[in-house]
Chain A
Amino acid sequence: MTPAARRLGAPRAVRVCAGVGGRPLEVEGSEISAVRESWLVEDSWWSDQPLRRRYWELVTIEGGDLVVFRDLVGGGWFRHR
């Protein structure tokens, strides 16, 4: 990437406490009240930098909607904004 071009929405690490099956229970200290959706994204499997993510769309007890994902290749939890 040229230094003058920056990607928008680059993932940043978040602190997630997960339960059975990897279901997030708490994100950055906010308790999760419901899971709206979960999906798997696999990409670039043909390259030496494969991408495999489990996304979760969550509702916090404050009513906020947020999307986080677990990196299934390198590990760790992230969100896009």
Chain B
Amino acid sequence: MVVAVILPRFSLAIAAGGRAALAEGPLALAPEPGRAALVGEVSPAAEALGVAPGMKIAEALARAPRLRLIAADPVAVADSWERVLVRLESVGAQVEDGGVGLACFEARGLGSLHGGSLDGVVKATRGALRLPARIGAGSSRFCAVVAAEQARSRRPSVVDGAAQLASAPVALLAREPATAKLVEPLSRFGITTLGQLAALPRGSVADRFGRAGIMAWELAHGNDRPLRPRKPSEPLEETLTLIESASGPQLAVALEMLVDSLLARSELGGRTLRAATLSAELTEGGTWRERVVFREPLSDALRIRTALALRLALLPAPAKSLRLAAEQLGPPAPPAEALFDDEEFRRAGRLSEAIGQLRALAGPQAALRVLLADPQSRIPERRAVLTPYER
């Protein structure tokens, strides 16, 4: 049995400073700086006035003139969501991160830890979360999500197979990115429940909607892909507080320092980076966050900087602080071989090996270099910094 946990309006609650704020009136999450002018999650009061997530700001304000827009805080949301996932993992679950507000895990094997029943697992989950959550269980991932959507705040519900999915609305297909676009055309055809969709011939659905249609049909029959639990790992991140509001060349120097510092961390153990997250606290308020997945696992500081600098150029305003976190690690980088006999290449290899040994003995601050952060600054201590030596 799969268990799904839904924390409704999670991003809005974090940005507004707590769930209590959601009851204060019509609220909506403002778009992140530089993004399309669409509202994000909305409070129940705003929903009652006809404001829906994804609506244009102008339309939302026309429907609810007293609507209060809350500045998005993607960094705080990501941090809080990570804490939620860690709490779920603390009950022994292997958790699949379904995006902010949704997490799933397999209950099989956890029963013996928590009283031998699904109720025990749900109780332990609630105890670990310490947050109001909708919890559902089902024979597949999608069934569990539908069950969680139907659950009330204190009572879990169970959806066991296609028969119990039949009365659920097709709007629930919006939970899956691949089938979200089918909700509107299916409704236009008069197909409003998953039972009606499941009753259609598979071939007809495939002819009309292609691969997404087949996926929706399978979901309506209670079939879904196996869970893909995340691998719990130690957080590996570096933060740089910028004395002056930084943009342009100053940010490039800050990025160089962050990459060097991250690669010097002993926890990395010579492994490569597959994905990283860049985030910033903006001087004008709010935060900014970008996830970067590298084309191939990287361990070279220059190539990592080059890839990250392209995203850093999207920063919508000067930053007060910059953070770089390693999201996924790859295998250790194999030692590179020179095409020709090259003394400089061999020397660089010996130097890297020596630095590695030095750091293993004396820590990440064992081999440093001087980096000119702002050589023209009138304030002498802002001109240069010592940062870990990385070739």
Contacts and interface: CB of A to CB of B under 8 A. Distances in A.
Contacts of B384: 7-9
List the 8 closest A-B pairs by CB distance, nearest first. Answer: A4-B261, A8-B384, A9-B380, A6-B386, A80-B380, A9-B381, A5-B387, A2-B238
B164 interface: no
A1 B383 contact: no
Given A43-B378, A44-B244, 7 more contacts: A2-B257, A5-B388, A8-B370, A8-B385, A43-B244, A47-B245, A80-B381
B266 to A, nearest CB: 11
Interface in B362-389: 364-365, 368, 370-371, 378-388
Contacts of A76: none
A14 interface: no
A34 interface: no
Which interface residue of A5, A7, A9, A44 has the most chain B CB atoms within 10 A? A5
A47 B245 CA distance: 9
Contacts, number: 56
B379 A51 contact: yes
Interface in A28-66: 41, 43-44, 47, 51
A73 interface: no
A10 interface: yes
Contacts of B240: 1-2, 5
A5 B379 contact: no
A11 B241 CA distance: 18
Nearest to A49: B243
Contacts of A44: 243-244
A43 B379 contact: yes
Nearest to B387: A5
Contacts of B243: 44
B15 interface: no
